[in-house]
Amino acid sequence: MSYKLIKRLFSSSPYKKCPQVCIVGAGPAGFYAAMHLTKKLEAVNIDILEKLPVPFGLIRYGVAPDHPEVKNVINQFTKVAQQANVNFYGNITLGKDVHLEQLRQNYDAVLLTYGAEEDKLLGIENEDASNVFAARNFVGWYNGLPADKDLKIDLSCNTAAILGQGNVALDVARILLTPIDELTKTDITEHSLSVLSESKLKEIYLVGRRGPLQVAFTIKELREQLKLKNCRTIWNEKDFQDVEKIVPSLPRPRKRLTELMLKSVNEKQTIVDDPNIKYFKPKFFRSPNKFLVDDKKQLAGIELTCNILVGDNLESQKCVPTDEKEILNCDLAFRSIGYKSVKADKDLTLKQGCIPNDKGVVEDASSDLAKLYVAGWLGTGPVGVILHTMGNAFQVAKVMCEDLGKLSNTQTKAGFEEVKKTIAQNNGNVIDWTGWERIDTYEVENGKKIGKPREKICDVEKMIEVAKA
Amino acid sequence: MLRNFVKNLSSKNLRCIIKNNGGITSFGNIRSIAPLSTTELALKDEKINITFVLYDGKRLQTEAKVGDTLLDVVVNNDLNIEGYGACEGTLTCSTCHVVLKDEDYKRLPEEPCDEERDMLDLAYGLTDTSRLGCQITLTKDMDGLEIKVPETINDARS
């Protein structure tokens, strides 16, 4: 308190203006950045713009429904949003309802945190076959993302393959393998629950290009998978040749993860004659070469190329294809090989799926416009858990604080007052925080009726209707 | 109280399950609202002083209630540690990562369980004396405890 007073008294600019900050994307990166800015700046006004009528991004639409604890962070974000100088404006699409240039004209700083919403393609033959899905769309489907609610997925088959070995791949496997009674207690959407309850899937392969020492999933997710009720894990013991010898030399996280895999390998679980048991089968050193289809373009299998690893650094060894091929028979496949960001506005330049930046600052020649920043997956690429996004968002917000402190004493920017005039021409349904609170209450009440913590509204029109009621 | 009771008689695994339960390691003072015994009332008032030393050298000294976790202390005293305790003590994040002095680490009554270690593995600046603040319950003899809060930013990544 006294520090702030002294700072104000000795400040060279007694009439300090209130910087206007615009954040595009109400996911964890946006909220963590807002948290830092409101804590560190004496005066600031923050407007968070979001494409959907509802906040929280991947916390709401990415975190698996059986991980409700991870979503507790919503409470911290809600506190941020409830501050008088933070505003949420939902249902506004950058590049459509408002252009980046307009934002940069009317704010002192613009931070882009709209994430990575597109999935990467494998770029192989028959990738458009029916029953080949992006893991991302499947996640969106069970989590109620409006764009994915109508996904037509056929679970009447025996075998599925997930291509990729990250945490999203494990989420997909776990949701497909978890006994349905356990999912009914979560906030998983009703439409997916009814499809999952009819599932005939018996076995799921988790296919990776490289070996056990290079898997991208983290230990918590693996531990959960290995503990899953009515599910056995079948490894190929040969994949673990020599792994045991290397374990002592690994850094602690990789070491513990590998030890957990080895422990499971050594249990030597086998196929049993029990219709209630399902199987989880990790498969290493294989890259998909092409999808095999029947005459109706239904998926019938995947041709895999066998790989070998080269390089000295074990954790970053590269895989090299051999001439050897094998066929994996399956009727359903998910690609889970990462995401990329979209170019939301004509003025943006993306490189390798993200916006190039230096500690969050996006360099460009438009010196007459507000400085542009990027945080979260849009800037770093789609890697890491919430903690990593938090660290990155704080770091970028710190740079923003320094820059905003140096702002010259020009007139206060108009901010949303001005921007909303343009938005109103394109879209009359801006949803504010009160609107979200109505949606929230509605969803929780609807969930209560069927014994779930929440039943999400999966339709944008319906969200708007409830928010405006 | 309930937790202390369970702690005294149970195995390491059971302790993890209990601690994993948000209802018990919660922010609210459930224990003081519904005391289960009179000894709890006496215990409730026991206070000690502890200090959080932030990565930038800033020291946050605070009074803390015996029986609270380090996460409870941060929340109840509204200590300014950014992003601390995102999952609210449910062992699903590592934002409450703290580093203890060697001697303090060694005298903690319990070793971290697998689930806590799993989360620590994701933390930045992991050390041999790292713990999650939500898993450290304060006892009377911890008066004067100093806890380091490491930076949440991994410079290698950006």
pLDDT at A108: 95
Say which residue, A309 or A2, is predicted with more confidence: A309
pLDDT at A9: 46
The dihedral through the CA atoms of A54, A95, A80, A73 has a sign that is positive
The position carrying tokens 């029953």 is: A131
Whether the pLDDT of residue B144 is over 50: the answer is: yes
Whether the pLDDT of residue A71 is over 80: the answer is: yes
Binary contact (A70, B91; C-beta < 8 A): no
Burial environment of residue A141 by CB neighbours within 10 A (0 to 12, 13 to 18, 19 or more) = buried
CA distance A267 to A235: 10
CA distance A342 to A98: 16
b or e along A187-206 (b: 16 or more beta carbons within 10 Å of the residue's beta carbon)?
Answer: bbbbebbebbeebebebbbb
Say which residue, B36 or A398, is predicted with more confidence: A398
pLDDT at A406: 87
Give percent above pLDDT 90 in chain B: 62
The letter for the amino acid at A61 is: Y
Binary contact (A392, B118; C-beta < 8 A): no
Please state, in angstroms and as integers, the Cα–Cα distance from residue B124 to each residue in A151, A391, A439, B102, following that order: 38, 9, 36, 18
pLDDT at B44: 56
Give percent above pLDDT 70 in chain A: 96
Q: Which DSSP helix (H) or strand (E) runs through A333?
A: strand A332-335
- For residue A400, give how far its alpha carbon lies from the nearest alpha carbon of chain B (Å): 16
The neighbour count for residue B157, using CB atoms within 10 Å, is: 14
Lowest-confidence range among A20-34, A395-409, A436-450? A395-409
Lowest-confidence range among A177-186, A285-294, B32-41? B32-41
CA distance A439 to A35: 23
Say which residue, A80 or B80, is predicted with more confidence: A80
Helices (H), B34-113: 38-44, 70-76, 102-107
pLDDT at B13: 44
β A118-119/A45-49 pair status: unpaired
In this structure, chain A runs to a length of: 469
Are the CB atoms for A45 and A19 separated by under 8 Å?
Answer: yes
The position carrying tokens 């005039």 is: A421
CA distance A44 to A17: 9
The letter for the amino acid at A162 is: I
Whether the pLDDT of residue B89 is over 90: the answer is: yes
> Average per-residue pLDDT in chain B?
78
pLDDT category of residue A314 using cuts at 50, 70 and 90? confident
A386 has binding-site annotation: yes
Whether the pLDDT of residue A11 is over 50: the answer is: no
pLDDT at B43: 53
Say which residue, B71 or B22, is predicted with more confidence: B71
Say which residue, B128 or A367, is predicted with more confidence: B128
Three-state DSSP at A141 gives helix
- Confirm or reject contact between A28 and chain B (CB < 8 A): no
For A81-109, write each residue's pLDDT tens digit. Answer: 999 999 999 999 999 999 999 999 999 99
β A159-163/A332-335 pair status: parallel
Q: What is the mean pLDDT of residues A200-212?
A: 97
Give percent above pLDDT 90 in chain A: 86
The neighbour count for residue A11, using CB atoms within 10 Å, is: 11
Q: What is the mean pLDDT of residues A61-71?
A: 97
Q: How many CA atoms lie within 13 A of A103 on its CB side?
A: 27
> Average per-residue pLDDT in chain A?
93
pLDDT category of residue A368 using cuts at 50, 70 and 90? confident
Three-state DSSP at B2 gives helix
Question: Would you list the DSSP string of A95-138?
Answer: TTTB-HHHHHHH-SEEEE-----EEPP---BTTTSBTEEEHHHH
CA distance A139 to A134: 9
Whether the pLDDT of residue B39 is over 90: the answer is: no
CA distance B41 to B34: 10
For A12-57, write each residue's pLDDT tens digit. Answer: 444 567 999 999 999 999 999 999 999 999 899 999 999 999 999 9
Whether the pLDDT of residue B17 is over 80: the answer is: no
Collect all residues of chain A within an 8 Å Cβ-Cβ radius of residue B121.
Answer: 218-219, 252-253, 256-257
Binary contact (B157, A388; C-beta < 8 A): yes
CA distance A159 to A165: 17
Calculated CA dihedral for residues A68, A70, A76, A82, nearest 10 degrees: -50
pLDDT at A16: 62
Are the CB atoms for A38 and A46 separated by under 8 Å?
Answer: yes
Whether the pLDDT of residue A4 is over 70: the answer is: no
pLDDT at B21: 41
Lowest-confidence range among A186-190, A305-309, B148-152? B148-152
Whether the pLDDT of residue B157 is over 60: the answer is: no
Collect all residues of chain B within an 8 Å Cβ-Cβ radius of residue A359.
Answer: 158
Phi first, then psi, for residue A392 (nearest 5°) are -65, -45
Optimal mutation site among B71, B97, B130, B153, interface A, most CBs of chain A within 10 A: B153
The neighbour count for residue A282, using CB atoms within 10 Å, is: 27
Token reading at A51: 């494409």
Token reading at A46: 């923050």
Whether the pLDDT of residue A134 is over 90: the answer is: yes
CA distance A301 to A55: 39
Residues forming a β-bridge with A111? A23, A373
What ipTM describes this predicted complex? 0.89
Q: Which DSSP helix (H) or strand (E) runs through A304?
A: strand A299-310
The neighbour count for residue A428, using CB atoms within 10 Å, is: 9
Whether the pLDDT of residue A8 is over 60: the answer is: no
What predicted TM-score, i.e. pTM, was given to this entire model?
0.89
Optimal mutation site among A3, A31, A73, A260, interface B, most CBs of chain B within 10 A: A73
Range 33-92 of A in CB contact (< 8 A) with B: 35-36, 39, 67, 69-70, 72-73, 75-76
Are the CB atoms for A59 and A65 separated by under 8 Å?
Answer: no
- Number of H helices and number of E strands within chain A? 17, 17
Between A69, A223, A359, which is nearest B92 by CB?
A69
Binary contact (B87, A36; C-beta < 8 A): no
Say which residue, A412 or A461, is predicted with more confidence: A461
Whether the pLDDT of residue B9 is over 70: the answer is: no
Collect all residues of chain B within an 8 Å Cβ-Cβ radius of residue A395.
Answer: 153, 158
The position carrying tokens 């999808």 is: A291
Binary contact (B121, A218; C-beta < 8 A): yes
